Amino acid sequence: MTVFFVTGCAGFIGSRVAEMLLERGDEVVGVDNRNDAYDVVLKDWRLDRLQRFSRFRFFETDVADFEALSHVWKTGAAPYAAVYHLAARAGVRYSVTNPWVYLETNCRGTLNLLELCRASGVAKFVFASSSSVYGNVSSSGKSAFSEEMQTDAPCSPYAATKKAAESLAYSYHHLHGLDIAALRFFTVYGPAGRPDMSILRFVHGIYEGKPFRLYGDGTQSRDFTFIDDIARGVVAAAGVSGYKLLNLGGDHPFSVNTLIGMISEMIGKEPIFHRFPSHPADVDSTWADITRAKTLLGWQPVVPLREGLEKTVEWYRQNRDWAKEMKTLSDI
Ligand code: NAD
Ligand code: UGA
């Protein structure tokens, strides 16, 4: 049986990736430290779904703790067919408040996993980078970001740690021949999504008639990407050879104002929001050029924003009893 090592398996994207691997019959060794960046109730809800599979084994471990991680690595039946490294501190804005936890997990944690791969001959390393590495490369928002574009002006410590992780991974490809897929995801959303991100915050606020924050004038745009599209791309990326940077994005940006309008219409209630100045760590716009992912992975997104939002609102409706109480540490 093929065994995969998935970090961040209690997280939004990691849990869906693990689920897809399990659904197709593979074995998954999953690691997560269940931190309180947002409500652990949601992380446990996702873990419960994975625990239905006997081929899933979970270890509560910090990827930044090399000794503990090495122990899990050995216990979990290495060598693995590939590592899917999704664990990270992921909020853009909270990274301004506490950059240290980002450095620790996103850089040291990534280094630890690369070292374990090198030491035990695991050649396939797929990891989550971010559209945030592009910074404000396209301030007009009119052209899509291609992987060749400049990424040396990150707007947040979070983005800087993702750029650093890409570089670390490159050095392991160069020195030790690891095949690396560094996937730049563009604002991912969907059922069981992160409650610190815009879409779940807006769904919660509009559904419950509670105010939410709107940063800036709402004309900033994102290339929102549905979770199943992303997870499909992540799974496929273990087939990549060499070192490849790959955008995975919806390829159809929407403004935050349009997003709020769509959610409000779907739920049938008016939004109540408090205006805040634009956040200095936020970029103006994102838009993925997905030519490379199409060519190398045969990947393209298939779920349009309206359909993905309907699924997200439906998930919230079905889980509302507990989902409406979710707490977020990074309430910014
Ligand atoms: P998430 O916060 O839901 O998932 C990350 C998981 O990693 C969490 O369950 C968390 O508990 C775990 N984790 C964090 N630090 C850890 C540590 N030190 N040791 C072990 N586990 C740890 O976030 P997500 O949205 O699922 O993001 C997954 C990956 O994709 C991250 O690397 C993120 O930076 C990247 N990414 C996400 C998006 C997005 O829009 N969601 C976009 C671009 C990139
Ligand atoms: C998201 C993820 O949080 C990051 O993990 C990821 O790396 C990044 O996408 C990416 O694409 O690489 P972000 O784009 O900030 O980051 O996602 P949201 O939290 O959904 O914010 C989108 C926009 O909505 C931002 O302009 C933000 O300021 C705005 N927003 C967000 C609000 O106006 N109010 C809120 O309460 C939340």
| Each residue's pLDDT tens digit, 229-285 | 999 999 999 999 999 999 999 999 999 999 999 999 999 999 999 999 999 999 999
Atom of ligand 1 nearest to the CA of 127: 32
198 CB under 6 A from ligand 1?
no
Mutate to test the pocket of ligand 1, among 5, 9, 13 (most ligand atoms within 8 A of CB): 13
Alpha-carbon distance of 164 to 151, in angstroms, equals 11
Query: What is the distance in A from the centroid of ligand 1 to the CA of 320?
Result: 23
In this prediction, residues 168-176 reach a mean pLDDT of: 98
Global pTM exceeds 0.85: yes
Counting atoms of ligand 2 from 1, which one is nearest the CA of 132? 12
Strand partners, 285: 221
pLDDT exceeds 70 at position 142:
no
Take atom 25 of ligand 1 and give the residue whose Cα is closest.
12
The distance of Cα 322 from the centroid of its chain, to the nearest Å, equals: 23
The yes-or-no answer on residue 94 being catalytic is no
Residue with tokens 């869906």: 16
What's the whole-number mean pLDDT along residues 296-303?
A: 98
What spacing in Å lies between the alpha carbon of 278 and ligand 1's midpoint?
Answer: 24
- Could you tell me the end-to-end alpha-carbon distance of the chain, in angstroms, rounded to an integer? 43
CB of 156 shorter than 6 A to ligand 1:
no
The three-state secondary structure class of 325 is: coil
CA 184/CA 192 separation, integer angstroms = 21
Any ligand 2 atom below 6 A from CB of 90: yes
Has residue 55 got a pLDDT over 80?
yes
102 lines ligand 2 (CB under 6 A): no
Point out which residues pair with 4 in neighbouring strands: 28, 82
Q: Whose CA is nearest to atom 14 of ligand 1?
A: 88
Q: Give the pLDDT band (50/70/90) at residue 313.
A: very high
Pick the closest to residue 180 from 15, 26, 296, 23 (CA basis): 296
Q: Is 330 in the pocket of ligand 2 (CB under 6 A)?
A: no
Cβ contacts of 252 within 8 Å, gap of 6 or more: 223, 304, 305
Alpha helices, DSSP H, located in the chain: 12-23, 40-51, 66-75, 94-97, 99-102, 110-120, 157-176, 198-208, 227-236, 256-267, 291-297, 305-318, 320-323
To the nearest 10 degrees (0 to 180), the angle between helices 12-23 and 227-236 is 60
Least confident of 68-82, 148-162, 234-248: 68-82
Name the active-site residue from 80, 102, 158, 215: 158
The verdict on the CB of residue 59 being under 6 Å from ligand 1 is no
**Percent of the chain clearing pLDDT 70 (strictly above):** 97
pLDDT of residue 327: 83
**Does any ligand 1 atom lie closer than 6 A to the CB of residue 30?**
no
Q: How many CB atoms lie within 10 A of CB 2?
A: 13
Phi-psi label, residue 28: left if phi above 0, alpha if psi -120 to 50, beta otherwise: beta
30 pLDDT band, cuts 50/70/90, is very high
Q: Which atom of ligand 1 is nearest to the CA of 35?
A: 11
Closest residue CA from atom 9 of ligand 2: 187
- Overall average pLDDT of the 158-162 stretch: 98
Going from the Cα of 187 to the center of ligand 2, the distance in angstroms, rounded, reads: 7
